[in-house]
A and B are shown apart, each in its own frame.
Chain A
Amino acid sequence: NAGVTQTPKFQVLKTGQSMTLQCAQDMNHNSMYWYRQDPGMGLRLIYYSASEGTTDKGEVPNGYNVSRLNKREFSLRLESAAPSQTSVYFCASSEMMGNTIYFGEGSWLTVV
């Protein structure tokens, strides 16, 4: 039982490049989330998916897109990376919206 798995763990991008962060959970959870964590800023919600087939914006959605591929997988895409998107990204899931949230190990993204 791996919980929430994210790939890649580390990535360096040039400004303007695109990439997709992958996330999968094996807990049969309905809801999934993407957060970013900057030094001294705490966690900020980028997008969430309450259930398969739905996605909604969080606090800081600009510059990102998401896809809920199926119940297990929720990907985050940066279409044109900017240095301001340098951060640690965490995927998370919960059984339902508002229930206890469980986090992945994080993906360190640097945009130069």
Chain B
Amino acid sequence: DAKTTQPPSMDCAEGRAANLPCNHSTISGNEYVYWYRQIHSQGPQYIIHGLKNNETNEMASLIITEDRKSSTLILPHATLRDTAVYYCIVRVFGSSNTGKLIFGQGTTLQVKP
């Protein structure tokens, strides 16, 4: 699986959009971009994933650049409960994947009042 690079920490004001970047310049054509978050040692929570098109769900939006070498997770209206460590992961989607998830250091997002 391709390696990802994320800033170690970011701050965001409550109610504002949080934009979390991720670089994955060695991503392969069959690898998806996944985002998880972990709130204070709880289980990792799935947020969103995508291949090349932008994706949106009830939690967030995922913007992937045309060359797929980077992406941005957008939390449109951050709340204090969004304070967490956010992990960007790239992995193959499909039956060949053994379930190995490589969680890097992630980005610690601090949402401030």
Contacts and interface: CB of A to CB of B under 8 A. Distances in A.
Decide whether A and B assemble into one complex: yes
B45 to A, nearest CB: 7
A45 interface: yes
Interface in B80-97: 91-97
Q: Main SS of the interface on chain B?
A: loop
A45 B42 contact: no
Given A45-B100, A58-B99, A99 B93 contact: yes
Nearest to B96: A98
A43 B99 CA distance: 11
Contacts of A103: 43-46
Interface string A79-101: 00000000010101010111111
Which one of B45, B46, B93 has the highest number of Cβ atoms from chain A below 10 Å of its Cβ?
A: B46
Interface residues of B, number: 22
A98 B46 contact: no
Nearest to B94: A98
Interface in A57-109: 58-59, 88, 90, 92, 94, 96-106
Which one of A43, A90, A106 has the highest number of Cβ atoms from chain B below 10 Å of its Cβ?
A: A43
Interface of B: 34, 41-46, 49, 91-104
21 contacts: A35-B101, A42-B102, A42-B104, A45-B98, A45-B101, A56-B98, A59-B100, A90-B43, A94-B99, A97-B96, A98-B92, A98-B95, A98-B96, A98-B97, A100-B49, A101-B99, A101-B101, A102-B46, A103-B46, A105-B42, A105-B43
